[in-house]
């Protein structure tokens, strides 16, 4: 591991149409490993990985932040809040306007609760005059405690190189999570983990308030039609373990039988899914995050 290599998780938030996808596509350009092209990954929290000489940025999705009015349930809010506090950098994309609408106010409210460095990205600067950009910066600068404000045009690529530099500035030194050579295998594992996690959260409702993570311990083809998958649902308390297993294993069975068909659909193969539950107290946040994405820290 190189000592001066940086790596970390970055989430990109902002209202629909503000240019998140465009920016992501532009940033990753040609240099990258994209996570997955499967439509089922829309719920997967990892979106893309950008690897440069200097470091590796793993973009993750924050669900639910714009959907405060829908009854999405506590857990989505918990996931969103947790994500915001676990990532290393938050990118908040806005339009180059001076009017701050209700949608933006809501996002700002969420952001004020976290200590994570926030970079305000004023996008679409190609559509306004220079003075307007300055006015927009002025309108936004006090709404949150921003680490940086970066105007750019995701469409034209103006100032996006600088944005990458600014992001790197806030990333810790760390390992390269994604090896380019193995990246094709990783997304499937992540999606499998995420599918199990989603089914578990849905079945458990709010009974396990501190959240869970899923690690994929083994994923191996037995033959061309069948894959054996061993996965562990990790929780933080003994009492949660009992809830997750359920009476005579009923809850675990339910989670497995909901996740399995979707995993089979995704992989196009039959799946023999074995689920385990483990308690892991005092997780470091980063461990939790990595576990969520199906990494085994011990193997890194």
Residue pair 111/6 in contact by the 8 Å Cβ criterion: no
Select from Mg ion, ligand GDP, none the partner in contact with residue 124, using the beta carbon and a kind-dependent cut-off of 5 to 8 Å: ligand GDP
Smaller CB distance to Mg ion: residue 67 or 129?
Answer: 67
Closest CB 187 distance from ligand GDP, rounded Å: 20
Report the DSSP beta bridge partners of residue 275.
231
Of the pair 14, 211, the CB lying nearest ligand GDP is at: 14
Binding partner selected for residue 123 from ligand GDP, Mg ion, none, CB under the kind-specific 5 to 8 Å limit = ligand GDP
Nearest distance in Å: CB 35, Mg ion: 15
Q: How far is the CB of 60 from ligand GDP (least distance, A)?
A: 15
CB atoms < 10 A from the CB of 174, how many?
15
Specify the residue, 125 or 231, whose C-beta has the smaller distance to ligand GDP: 125
Beta bridge partners of 222: none
Which residues have a Cβ under 8 Å from the Cβ of 228 and sit 6 or more positions away?
A: 218, 219, 220, 221, 222, 271, 272, 274
Q: What share of the chain is helix, strand, coil (3-state, %, to 5)?
A: 40, 25, 35
Using CB under 5 A, which of the segments 3-11, 12-20, 201-209, 279-287 binds Mg ion? 12-20
Contact 178, 51 (CB under 8 A): yes
User: Of 14-22, 65-73, 123-131, 286-294, which part binds Mg ion (CB under 5 A)?
Assistant: 14-22
Sequence-distant (6+) residues with CB within 8 A of 238 are: 279
Candidate ranges 21-29, 39-47, 118-126, 242-250; the one touching Mg ion (CB under 5 A): 21-29
Q: How far is the CB of 22 from ligand GDP (least distance, A)?
A: 3
Judged by the rule CB under 5 A, the positions of this chain that interact with Mg ion are: 20-21
């Amino acid at each position: 591991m190189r000592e001066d290599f940086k790596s970390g998780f970055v989430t990109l938030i902002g209202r629909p149409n503000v240019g998140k996808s465009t920016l992501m596509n532009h940033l990753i350009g040609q240099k990258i490993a994209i996570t997955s092209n499967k439509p089922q990954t829309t719920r997967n929290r990892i979106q893309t990985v950008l690897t440069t000489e200097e470091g590796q940025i793993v973009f993750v999705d924050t669900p639910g932040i714009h959907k405060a009015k829908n009854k999405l349930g506590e857990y989505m809010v918990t996931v969103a809040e947790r994500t915001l506090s676990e990532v290393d950098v938050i990118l908040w994309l806005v339009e180059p306007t001076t009017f701050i609408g209700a949608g933006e106010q809501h996002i700002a409210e969420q952001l004020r609760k976290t200590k994570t460095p926030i970079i305000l990205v004023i996008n679409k600067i190609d559509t306004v005059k220079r003075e307007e950009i300055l006015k927009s910066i002025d309108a936004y600068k006090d709404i949150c405690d921003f680490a940086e404000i970066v105007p750019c045009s995701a469409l034209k690529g103006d100032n996006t190189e600088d944005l990458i530099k600014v992001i790197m500035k806030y990333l810790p030194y760390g390992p390269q999570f994604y090896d380019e050579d193995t990246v094709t295998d990783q997304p499937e594992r992540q999606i499998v983990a995420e599918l199990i996690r989603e089914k578990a959260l849905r079945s458990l409702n709010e009974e396990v308030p501190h959240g869970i993570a899923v690690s994929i311990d083994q994923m191996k083809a037995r033959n061309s039609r069948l894959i054996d998958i061993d996965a562990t649902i990790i929780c933080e308390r003994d009492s949660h373990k009992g809830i997750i297993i359920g009476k005579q294993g009923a809850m675990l069975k339910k989670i497995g039988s909901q996740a399995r068909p979707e995993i089979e659909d995704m992989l196009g193969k039959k799946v023999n899914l074995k689920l385990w539950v483990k308690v892991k107290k005092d997780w470091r946040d980063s461990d939790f995050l990595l576990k969520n994405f199906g990494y085994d820290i011990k193997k890194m």
